[in-house]
Structure 1
Amino acid sequence: MKHSLLMAALGAVMPLHPLSAEPLKVYLMAGQSNMQGFCGVHTFTQIEADPVTKPIYQKMVNPDGTPRVHENVWISTSGCAKDAKPGQLTTGYGGGKGDRIGPELTFGIYMEEHVKEPILIIKTAWGGKSLCRDFRPPSAGVHPTHTQALEELRKETKDTTELETEYAERHGKYYRMMIEHAKSVLGDIKKVYPGYDPSQGYKVAGFLWFQGENDFGEQDTYPNPGEPGGFSEYSRLLACLIRDVRKELKAPELNAVIGVLGFNGELETERYRQIETKHIPWLREFRKAMEAPVEMPEFRGHVAAVRTEVFWEPRLEELQGRWKQVKAKSGELKAQGLSKEQQKAALDEFLKTVYTPEEWKLMETGVSNACYHYLGSAKIMSRIGKAFADALIAIPAPTQP
């Protein structure tokens, strides 16, 4: 009887999965602001409201609707929420301040569900950073514009030291920060995951890249963005990135998933979009460039791409697009010298002319940020995170020697 009670008590405190003899699986997630994630937790409402996505919602929250703490998923971040400490995965590991999420939440949920053992996520993301400059990998070589600038200075017999220093500090800075954080965590995993047994070892099992916004608008690097092959340099840089991450982390067959830039959704049908019409061919070509490493012979079978535009919510995009009318009206009211109370009353009345009650409810519960941040929609981001896990799971494991 005592033995049974003791075993029952132990069962209550032991982790869901016993410590495995297998190496701890580690996943590196990296990119810019959408890898950070700016999706407010209040937008979980729309995940629950849709029967298609409700099963995802049920994994994200407790029975009372509060965010769940995922006890067998451990996470360390750099560049993300300022107050997020390493620990067990839950909400709050997104960008900026407050209870936000990025793709890490559902990625971790579904990845741990698949491997059926504790996992570790290392997430490094910084807003407004390009691959061509900020994340520039070592094997990519010197940026062409830097070479041109140096040549111009030399022609004028001017000192190039300042330019060389500036280049060295900026170009590749966030690549180096990504690698430094990853190596720091891997060097002392118990700081993040106290139950880790060093004799178990670890395996870097996946690299997830979600970025692109800054390169999309970088015409110094990509001067012909709307033409076929206009972003081929991005494909080359992304291939260099995957190679260099594999080398740095001593994982020569590391599988990778590329999150293809998806804001504004699909580009074929006639509908409202916040993107300028002239930029649609740019975005079409950029998406092709992001996918290109998948078909490179050296990466075939080890790299996958997720077309994130398939998770877009066109209705939310249209509703959020109307908000500029409200902002303009707010500016007009301020210019009239009205009191704050008068401004609020007038704006509330104006709001009724822009949105129906049903539309405003959807706006309040579905949108929490700008279009380029996937509308701050947890319904969009939760499906992207799950798709990242599904894509990585679908890649065959490297053959054992």
Structure 2
Amino acid sequence: MLQTTKLLIAVFATFCCFSEAIAQKPLRVYIMAGQSNMVGTGGISTFDYIGDDPKTAPLLKKMLGPDGNPKVCERVWISSLNGKMNQYGGEGFGKLTAGYGVRRTDPTKPDDFIGPEYMFGITMEESYDGPILIIKTAWGGQNLSVDYRSPGSGPYVMNDYQKEVFTKKGKLKQVQAQKKEATGRNYRYMIDHVKKVLGDIKRVYPDYDADAGYELMGFVWFQGWNDFSDLTTYPSSFGDKQYDQYSKLLAQFIRDIRKDLETPKLPFVIGVMGVYGNYTPGTFRIVNNSDHRMQLFRKAQAAPTELEEFQGTVVAVQTASFREDALGFIDQKLTEVKIMGRKLSKKLPDGPNADGSMTPEQQKAYIETYKAKIVTPQEMALWKRAASIGGFIHYYGSAKFHAQAGKAFAEALLEM
């Protein structure tokens, strides 16, 4: 009996030491920032579609708990700051689960969407048996040239082309004032929130062990549409150097992040924009030479990784392959339906309602018939299963895209 008691005491002591060792592991902190695709429009309603593809079915298994509902991570916490354009917004925080994507009504309350943070956190939890904290700050419609412009890039200065364009419109002084007010605003929001969370970690993660401390382990940046589509800041007259300024701004952004967070070698992941995917014909619409511009922009986003100062600590992750061509094909057909609807309502000369004789009911019936001719029932079933909100700019609201991107971002950091 005495021997049994000693054995039980020894086992209990070993277990306690093991538990204490786990509890005292440093908190690993990751920062994720950007615009609307970092916010995330991946509909929870599209989760099942992830399981249709043998390549991504394993991701779905990791994203669902034993009860079939989205998994709640036990060792990953998140603080997510989001709000309407140009507003600081509100914070949602707690254990990481689905629902930290776009929050349409109230940024402090869960909604039915994920961003890259969900699979990012799940992947990190698999790689580390200690606690993890994700701090996410993202706002839709924000650019790097103005909104996220970091201190080292100095004030925003208009180029000659912009001055000419806005002078002709009689808006030069108005636009200059707007840009002056907006310059660096979201960068400040981001830094302020990160410091706020790190200054009181227990508010977000109640079991934080201050003795074990925390380690800033990486930064993920996923942004680009508003700079890509800004043809005054980045005019086509610049030719192949059209987006070179973005590269310079992003390199300085990395330097300033490291300086302001006092982490000189903070690993940094650049999520390269994947809109238009791999340029498969028929899956996107070309406007203002957009396919060529996208190639230039992706190159500009990845350019900082080539700088000697960033070797081994900054990496670019291409996301184009995660964009669904199947959804792109359907989207183009649905766009044709919308165009036909505009032709009817506006009584355009080349439309079937040129004389304006069709009633609203007749127009609706015509559109339904037209849609049935070009979009098959199978395509509509796929669309309802795989897409949610946001359109092509937001990867059709597919959780499959956001899950793959989040996993890739995490793996890139783990490799560094």
Report the TM-score, using the length of structure 1 for normalisation.
0.84
The equivalent residue for 2:42 is: 39
Secondary structure of 1:298's aligned partner: helix
Matches within 5 A, 1:137-148: 137-145=150-158
Larger Rg: 2
Task: Quote the sequence identity (%).
Answer: 43
Q: Does 1:362 align with 2:362?
A: no
Q: Does 1:293 align with 2:312?
A: no
CA distance in 1, matches of 2:237, 2:371: 38
Letter in 2 for 1:206: G
CA distance in 1, matches of 2:44, 2:381: 15
Shift in Å, 1:346: 7.2
Q: Does 1:55 align with 2:55?
A: no
CA distance in 1, matches of 2:244, 2:273: 15
The equivalent residue for 1:18 is: 22
Q: Is the 8 A contact 1:225 1:285 kept in 2?
A: no
Q: Is the 8 A contact 2:152 2:252 kept in 1?
A: yes
Task: Check 1:26–1:80 CA distance in 2 against 1; reply closer, same or farther (3 A cut).
Answer: farther
Matches within 5 A, 1:123-138: 123-138=136-151
The equivalent residue for 1:391 is: 412
Deviations 1:276-326 (A, max 9, x none): 371111110100010011110000000011010011211111112222244
CA distance in 2, matches of 1:239, 1:29: 17
The equivalent residue for 2:233 is: 221
Q: Is the 8 A contact 1:80 1:94 kept in 2?
A: no
The equivalent residue for 1:202 is: 214
Secondary structure of 1:93's aligned partner: coil
Where does the alignment leave 5 or more consecutive residues of structure 1 unmatched?
Answer: 151-159, 396-401
Q: 1:77 aligns with which of 75, 80, 101?
A: 80
Where does the alignment leave 5 or more consecutive residues of structure 2 unmatched?
Answer: 105-110, 164-172, 347-357
Shift in Å, 1:168: 4.6
Q: Is the 8 A contact 1:75 1:121 kept in 2?
A: yes
Q: 2:323 aligns with which of 291, 312, 323?
A: 312
Q: Is the 8 A contact 2:81 2:92 kept in 1?
A: no
CA distance in 1, matches of 2:402, 2:244: 27
The equivalent residue for 1:119 is: 132
Equivalenced residue count is 374
Deviations 1:312-361 (A, max 9, x none): 2111111122222444566658972439xx95x87665543332222111
The equivalent residue for 1:338 is: 361
The equivalent residue for 2:97 is: 90
Report the TM-score, using the length of structure 2 for normalisation.
0.81
Task: Check 1:392–1:277 CA distance in 2 against 1; reply closer, same or farther (3 A cut).
Answer: same
Secondary structure of 1:26's aligned partner: strand
CA distance in 1, matches of 2:126, 2:24: 14
Q: Is the 8 A contact 1:225 1:231 kept in 2?
A: no
Q: Is the 8 A contact 2:156 2:179 kept in 1?
A: no
CA distance in 2, matches of 1:373, 1:296: 30
Task: Check 1:79–1:275 CA distance in 2 against 1; reply closer, same or farther (3 A cut).
Answer: farther
